Amino acid sequence: MDYVNVRYTDKKPKLSNPILIEGLPGIGNVGKLAVEHLIESIKAIKFAELHCKDFPPQVFINIDGTIELVNNEFYFWKSKKKNQRDLVLLTGDYQGLSSQGQYELVEKILDIIEGLGVKEIYTLGGYGLGHEIENPRVLCATTDKNLVKIMKKHGAVFKKNEPGGGIVGASGLLLGLGKLRGFYGACLMGETPGYLVDPKSAKAVLNIIMKLTNIEINLSALEKKAKEIENIAHQLKEIEGLGKEKSEELKYIG
């Protein structure tokens, strides 16, 4: 096995001018949620797996009791209409654990999608605010100036100095290393408190992907998940609230 190993589980798809959409684990799991939901909604087909020596040495257990080595997965989808484009989709269990692992992994991903004819990349992620947000905006950064205008048209937001720390991980590196190799594209970052997985933020990101790709995505499953998470967050807040009152009381006493 190479440091990063690609294994085709289906034959390599023949695609016409496809776009890559990436969503790996990260803040609020926004990117991963969005891409997983997209894959399910459009019934994209898995064709390859990546394993990497910089992933944790771990297997997950399926419902039927069988194991699965942690990985990243590639899916594809063929366009149905004239105004649509073929898609390559990337999601997975982990990002590389180390800096070097991240660079190696992204280089391999770029090799693979280059071989599939991809030139355009959209990476999805979360932008952690550390506080709650009613209507999450979707921040954006692009490889090229002319893409800024297009992304704004689709509802993405550009704010000077946001995110101030740049973009860390595969979502940033795919664009950064990709740009050096002639790829272009954008990163969409849904605002999120960042405490819990955030389907609401994932939905906001997918709304822009819909406009960008002219693909209808059924968002009802994400909306249902978002309500469940809202309930959990509410309950956690109540428990916390009780704790605070108590500790305030204690402050008066002690």
Residues that bind a second copy (CB under 8 A): 1, 3, 7, 51, 53-61, 63-70, 96-97, 99-104, 106-107, 140-145, 148, 158, 160, 162-163, 165-170, 172-173, 175-177, 179-180, 187
Annotate 137-156 with b (16+ C-beta within 10 A) or e (fewer). bbbbbbbeeebeeebeebeb
Helix (H, G, I), strand (E, B) or coil at 157: strand
Residue bearing tokens 């305030």: 248
Give min distance, CB of 173 to a second copy, in A.
5
Considering the complex, state which of residue 65 and residue 130 has its C-beta at the smaller distance from a second copy.
65
Considering the complex, state which of residue 111 and residue 216 has its C-beta at the smaller distance from a second copy.
111
Helix (H, G, I), strand (E, B) or coil at 140: strand
Task: Give the CA dihedral 13, 97, 131, 185, nearest 10 degrees.
Answer: -40
Considering the complex, state which of residue 19 and residue 139 has its C-beta at the smaller distance from a second copy.
139
Give min distance, CB of 158 to a second copy, in A.
4
Considering the complex, state which of residue 79 and residue 102 has its C-beta at the smaller distance from a second copy.
102
Give min distance, CB of 219 to a second copy, in A.
27
Neighbours of 85 (CB within 10 A): 18
